Structure 1
Amino acid sequence: MSNKNIHSEDSLNNEHSFLGKGKIVWEKSDAEVWAELEKKISAQPAVKTIPLRSQIFRWSVAAVLLILVGLAGIATFYSKTIGTLPGEHLIAFLPDGSKVELNASSTLTYYPLRWKLQRKLDFEGEGFFNVKKGEQFLVKSANGSTQVLGTSFNIYARDENYRVTCLTGKVNVSTLSGDHIVLLPNNHAELEEGKLVMKKMFNPERAIGWTNNQFFFAGRPLKEVIDEIERQYAVTIELDPQLNNRNFGSNFSKKPNVEEVLGLVCKPMNLKFVKQSENVYRIVDKS
């Protein structure tokens, strides 16, 4: 046998030897693959499903809660303001039938939707209150508050001034500093140098004279008198600052013409008024 033949046979023997010694690993069968997939799927957490009817119920509950919250917010913050212009008087009726007569340039604010739960209002200006009996009735102003159950009283709350006159019933007056006084009929309280002072046997008709266009001033600063005339006649009156604190003690009724009233005020105080322009006046000392 030639060398060529020997080489060929050796080659076959070697290939046979290689195939005999090695072991080929084939891919998994279809059955094995599906078995593993099923095992993985079964191990996944189950998807939670919520019936449509249950979802609608939850949405409805959430909507109702939102509506209730909205209504509560409206009841808490919804307010009504009633005010008067210069030269104007007005009678305001509150939800419980209580009545407030407002002097010129006065405002009150109350909360209609929670009035039955809390009779409370904010007030600035001057007003005569006739309160129906019931739960506590509270009037708050910048410099104090007035608390009653059922009564009639007058409040003057302008700038730094705060005065309360009780006509009927009982009134509890308090200030921001903590002072408080209980007023009975014909009692009057006012702030004097930051302190609440009470005056007994006060003539209440003077306090509410404005409701009949009668104005009483007993030793009040002239500026306060002039401010009241401005409000009643819707005019502007310039007062020499040196005259602001000069005391005025008299009374007058509202006249058709503002110049008549200015004459009544100026003459006894040796003052004069000068018309600057339409509805604008200036008051100066004659000397």
Structure 2
Amino acid sequence: MDKETLILKWLNNDLNDQELQALKKLEDYDDLVKLDSNLQAFKAPEYKTSKELESVLSTIKSSKKQKTHWVKPFMRVAAILAICFSLYYYTTTINTTITTDMAQKTTIELPDASNVSLNAKSVLVFNKNSWKNNREVELQGEAFFKVAKGSSFNVITKTGTVTVYGTQFNVKQRDNYFEVICYEGLVGVTFNSQETKLKPGDSFLILDRKLIAKEKENSLTPSWLNNESQFKSIPYKQVIEEFERQFNVDITLIGVNSDELFTGNFTHDSIEVALKSITLPLHLTYSQSNDSIILKRE
């Protein structure tokens, strides 16, 4: 048996007679005995396990009572605070969303008394709680704005941003179509990081990602507010899409060039009259079955 194992068993009082004799033959034996004798003075007092266990358990029970006394009210207060914070966060960050369906229009009053008229199949989003410091709306579709004077007012679309301070203007943002018309005041249109200023009668039109020059606008409000859609040299496909939105129908073109430019208008009050308005100028015929319409070249 090696030296280290003998010493370890000796310290644990686990030596037999033969092993004890082997330990005594070690040259370090006398030093080990002296060391053991000196360490006796540092032994801990006698420890009664059962008595100390009772003492510890008693302390834990007392601690639990004291802890329970203040923890329960604290937890109730914490829960209330958590609920209040959640409600505050929810009510201050939630947006108001206004939508219109096919063949539907609506008018909304914003928190500052500004008015928005929303055309068919459009979406307007804004936040009431942050409105005082941030007059901003998101628009998908078409809307006419009468903005109350005050801080800057932003209309954000996926194509560009319109900024005003108190004016009347119309914004139309559809697939491959973005148009802003100023009717009163001054409007700034930001597109591709460049701002264009519009005065009353000025228009800004992006069609298929191209800037299109337009004539001066003479009317005081957009025609759709009076249940009529007007077009000046606009691709026929844009006319058809607007017709479908206003009457909630599906139109199929047969032998018709959808990129052909169209100038004219159609009413929103009568689908029969409207169909004649968009077919006669191009010498087209039409047939209707429920909500499906087919337009053909004569």
Question: Normalising by the residue count of structure 1, what TM-score does the alignment of the two structures yield?
Answer: 0.73
**Aligned: 1:112 with 2:124:** no
2:99 corresponding residue in structure 1: 83
CA distance in 2, matches of 1:153, 1:212: 15
- The structure with the largest alpha-carbon Rg is 1
1:272 corresponding residue in structure 2: 285
**Residue number among 263, 270, 276 corresponding to 1:263 in the alignment:** 276
Secondary structure of the residue aligned to 2:129 is helix
- What are structure 1's unaligned runs of at least 5 residues? 1-32
Residues matched between the structures, number: 249
For the Cα contact (< 8 Å) 1:75–1:114, is it kept in 2? no
CA distance in 1, matches of 2:85, 2:213: 45
Tell me the CA shift for residue 240 of structure 1: 3.1
CA distance in 1, matches of 2:213, 2:285: 36
Tell me the CA shift for residue 234 of structure 1: 2.2
Identity across the alignment (%): 30
Q: What amino acid maps onto 2:259 in structure 1?
A: N
5 Å-filtered alignment, 1:1-287, equals: 36=47, 55=71, 58-59=74-75, 62-175=78-191, 177-196=192-211, 202-203=216-217, 205=219, 208-240=222-254, 242-252=256-266, 254=267, 256-275=269-288, 277-286=289-298
Change (3 A) 1:181 1:256: closer
For the Cα contact (< 8 Å) 2:256–2:296, is it kept in 1? no
- What are structure 2's unaligned runs of at least 5 residues? 1-43
Tell me the CA shift for residue 156 of structure 1: 0.7
Tell me the CA shift for residue 158 of structure 1: 0.9
CA distance in 2, matches of 1:159, 1:241: 23
CA distance in 1, matches of 2:116, 2:292: 31
Tell me the CA shift for residue 239 of structure 1: 1.8
For the Cα contact (< 8 Å) 2:228–2:268, is it kept in 1? no
